């Protein structure tokens, strides 16, 4: 028996890996389901339909997700916030905020005659209204549940479609923001396009959307409660028709018609209620087992991820330590070179005359300082040596040659020009001194 659900579009962040496995219906996914609580009837899977937008035909959801990350980085200069973050709410208390959800997934209730064209029209209306683009649509007509797993006739189909949305504005690099009013308008739109009765607003019911397993349990609890109410009502009618049960209990002993018949029906209803509770308990236990198995699998995967991160951290720490050791080695090598240079400079200068030592040291200090010309003190040390030599140009060559072990090729050329300028200055000063002395003699 097919019960037509009310129109609903439940949107949530897309679990990419799980969504693709669920919508592909591959053998590995089907094999992972608990056979006793199996909610997919594979013999009905041929009735399913899928649609993918042409430009993403051969692109996985993970690849599209990575492309969105790259687009966001290019458009905004910021990396996508993927992890949950803790923020301070308006009430001053901390709360968790989900990271970015660029790809989202809808579960939309449908009718037996809902077509892919109907759903495409709905997604086109959504795109025109908010800009959000549907990239995949999957119609599922093979899902449901058994009220009694041992009775095939109790199968209750869950007709629905999955819509995968690209929730990003590719012109701005920002996600679309839909408020409470927008989501209400979305529910109105899906009901209108699919020609279904709209579900009650959340503000009226105060109820959150239920996931598949929760919905099954809730439905079965409501059925059980309804059965209990039916038994109580019939008991009340029985007492009203036959008077007080204690006063007229003798009627039952003599098999009074209507009272006896209703007692029999009441007995059957109680037996049905007991069976229904037993079935409900079995299904609840199966769902709990399946959920426990799923959580255990998630725990194993999380532990695997933690081990991988720890191994990666150790590798990075090793590389960091190795880089630091290499840096220390280079620094120590440079210190040794500098120390050796100073020792060689000291030894070399010790072999020269005192005046030549001063001139060479002035040249080395000039080169190391990076100045464009000698300082007054450096010129003075060089001039003192040149004044002790009869040929000033030759003295400049001697200073240059004595300094060459400590100079590079380009430095030698620069020093050579400066030295010969100083030699000319010394010669002019000497000539001026002779002229001044000759004038006094006259």
Give me the mean pLDDT over the 375-389 stretch. Answer: 91
Range of lowest pLDDT (63-67, 135-139, 316-320, 366-370)? 316-320
pLDDT > 90 fraction of the chain, expressed in percent and rounded: 28
Give me the mean pLDDT over the 181-198 stretch. Answer: 92
Residue 190's CB is within 10 A of a number of other CB atoms, namely: 24
Residue 346's CB is within 10 A of a number of other CB atoms, namely: 10
Q: Which residue has the tokens 């690849």?
A: 63
Most confident of the following: 2-6, 130-134, 229-233, 356-360: 130-134
Give me the mean pLDDT over the 235-260 stretch. Answer: 54
- Cβ 63 vs Cβ 135: under 8 Å: no
Banded model confidence at residue 98, pLDDT cuts 50, 70, 90: low
Check whether 373 has a pLDDT greater than 90: no
Check whether 122 has a pLDDT greater than 90: yes
307 vs 121 pLDDT, higher one: 121
**177: helix, strand or coil:** coil
Most confident of the following: 27-31, 180-184, 307-311, 429-433: 180-184
Predicted structure pTM score: 0.50
Give me the mean pLDDT over the 297-309 stretch. Answer: 83
Check whether 90 has a pLDDT greater than 80: no
Check whether 370 has a pLDDT greater than 90: no
Q: What is the pLDDT of residue 161?
A: 95
Range of lowest pLDDT (60-64, 242-246, 256-260, 288-292)? 242-246
- Cβ 133 vs Cβ 166: under 8 Å: yes
Check whether 206 has a pLDDT greater than 80: no
Range of lowest pLDDT (6-20, 46-60, 79-93)? 79-93
Tell me the pLDDT tens digit for each residue of 253-276: 455 555 566 667 777 777 777 777
- Cβ 100 vs Cβ 81: under 8 Å: yes
Token duo for residue 170? 């590719």
Range of lowest pLDDT (40-49, 162-171, 207-216, 232-241)? 207-216
**Integer Cα distance of 216 and 282 in angstroms:** 13
Closest listed residue to residue 83, CA positions, set 99, 62, 96: 99
Check whether 241 has a pLDDT greater than 70: no
**Secondary structure in 3-state letters for 404-415:** HHHCCHHHHHHH
Check whether 340 has a pLDDT greater than 80: no
Q: What is the pLDDT of residue 248?
A: 46
Banded model confidence at residue 290, pLDDT cuts 50, 70, 90: confident
Check whether 203 has a pLDDT greater than 60: no
Banded model confidence at residue 442, pLDDT cuts 50, 70, 90: very low
Check whether 79 has a pLDDT greater than 80: yes
Average pLDDT taken over every residue of the chain: 80
Distances 407 to 40, 103, 195, 341, 416 between C-alpha atoms, Å: 84, 65, 91, 12, 11
411 vs 117 pLDDT, higher one: 117
Check whether 441 has a pLDDT greater than 50: no
Banded model confidence at residue 68, pLDDT cuts 50, 70, 90: very high
- Residue 318: burial class (beta carbons within 10 Å; 0-12, 13-18, 19+): exposed
Banded model confidence at residue 200, pLDDT cuts 50, 70, 90: low
- Cβ 383 vs Cβ 422: under 8 Å: yes
**Integer Cα distance of 393 and 399 in angstroms:** 10
**Integer Cα distance of 198 and 374 in angstroms:** 92
Chain centroid to Cα 167, Å, comes to: 15
**Integer Cα distance of 264 and 262 in angstroms:** 5
Q: What is the pLDDT of residue 110?
A: 94
- Cβ 381 vs Cβ 375: under 8 Å: no
Check whether 66 has a pLDDT greater than 90: yes
**Integer Cα distance of 401 and 386 in angstroms:** 14
Give me the mean pLDDT over the 381-394 stretch. Answer: 90
| Entry field: residues in the chain | 442
Q: What is the pLDDT of residue 31?
A: 80
| DSSP H helix total and E strand total for the chain | 13, 11
- Cβ 64 vs Cβ 166: under 8 Å: yes
Check whether 246 has a pLDDT greater than 50: no
Check whether 279 has a pLDDT greater than 60: yes
Q: What is the pLDDT of residue 247?
A: 47
Banded model confidence at residue 33, pLDDT cuts 50, 70, 90: confident
């Amino acid at each position: 028996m097919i019960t037509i659900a009310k129109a609903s579009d439940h949107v949530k962040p897309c679990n990419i890996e799980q969504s693709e496995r669920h919508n592909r219906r591959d053998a590995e996914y089907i094999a992972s389901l608990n056979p006793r609580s199996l909610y997919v009837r594979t013999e009905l899977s041929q009735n399913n339909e899928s649609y993918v937008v042409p430009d993403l035909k051969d692109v996985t959801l993970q690849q599209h997700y990575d492309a969105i990350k790259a687009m966001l980085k290019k458009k905004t200069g910021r990396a996508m916030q993927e992890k949950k973050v803790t923020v301070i709410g308006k009430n001053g208390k901390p709360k968790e905020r989900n990271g970015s959800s660029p790809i989202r997934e809808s579960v939309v209730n449908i009718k037996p005659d809902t077509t892919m064209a109907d759903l495409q029209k709905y997604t086109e209306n959504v795109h025109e209204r908010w800009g959000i683009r549907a990239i995949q649509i999957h119609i599922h007509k093979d899902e449901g549940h058994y009220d009694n797993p041992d009775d095939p006739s109790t199968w209750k189909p869950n007709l629905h479609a999955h819509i995968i949305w690209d929730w990003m504005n590719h012109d701005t690099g920002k996600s679309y923001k839909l408020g409470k009013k927008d989501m209400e308008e979305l529910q109105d739109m899906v009901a209108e396009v699919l020609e279904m009765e709209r579900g009650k607003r959340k503000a009226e019911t105060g109820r959150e959307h239920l996931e598949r397993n929760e919905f099954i349990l809730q439905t079965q609890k409501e059925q059980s409660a309804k059965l209990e109410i039916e038994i109580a009502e019939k008991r009340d009618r029985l007492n009203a028709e036959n008077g007080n049960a204690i006063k007229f209990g003798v009627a039952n002993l003599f098999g009074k018609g209507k009272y006896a018949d209703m007692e029999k029906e009441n007995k059957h209803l109680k037996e049905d209620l007991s069976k229904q509770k037993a079935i409900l308990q079995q299904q609840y236990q199966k769902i709990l087992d399946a959920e426990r198995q799923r959580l255990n699998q998630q725990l194993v995967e999380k532990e695997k991820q933690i081990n991988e991160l720890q191994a990666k951290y150790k590798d990075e720490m090793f590389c960091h330590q190795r880089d630091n050791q290499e840096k220390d080695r280079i620094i120590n090598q440079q210190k040794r070179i500098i120390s050796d240079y100073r020792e060689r400079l000291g030894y070399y200068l010790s072999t020269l005359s005192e005046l030549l030592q001063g001139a060479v040291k002035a040249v080395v200090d000039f080169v190391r300082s990076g100045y464009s010309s000698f300082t007054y003190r450096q010129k003075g040390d060089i001039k003192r040596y040149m004044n002790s030599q009869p040929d000033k140009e030759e003295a400049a060559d001697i200073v240059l040659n004595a300094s060459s072990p400590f100079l590079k090729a380009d430095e030698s050329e620069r020093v050579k020009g400066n030295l010969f300028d100083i030699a000319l200055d010394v010669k002019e000063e000497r000539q001026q001194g002779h002229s001044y002395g000759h004038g006094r003699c006259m």
